[in-house]
Amino acid sequence: MKKKPIGRISNYFSKIGVAVVEVEGTMKSGDKITIGEGEGAFTQTVGSMQIEHENVNGAKKGQSIGMKVDQEVKKGWKLYKE
């Protein structure tokens, strides 16, 4: 079964390990997600998320969030909920 993407990386700030995600579904703190596809893909639990520098517990389609990521990501990579 093909997984439906819940977001897409639109930017990455390597010095602070934060990705900007354009949300295409719904996601919340504590969700287990996979970022990327193929060999570069990795799984992590969603920790803190921010919208306009304010901490939030969840995000829905159409929002843009900042999210701490465990590894380097690339612009255009997709996020999938496990």
pLDDT of residue 67: 97
Q: What is the pLDDT of residue 24?
A: 97
First-to-last C-alpha distance (Å) of the chain: 12
pLDDT truncated to tens, each residue of the chain (82 aa)? 568 899 999 999 999 999 999 999 999 999 999 999 888 899 999 998 999 999 999 999 999 999 999 999 999 999 999 8
Measured between alpha carbons, how far is 69 from 47 in angstroms, rounded to an integer?
Answer: 9
Domains of the chain: 5-81 (2.40.30.10)
pLDDT at position 1: 59
The whole-model pTM stands at 0.92
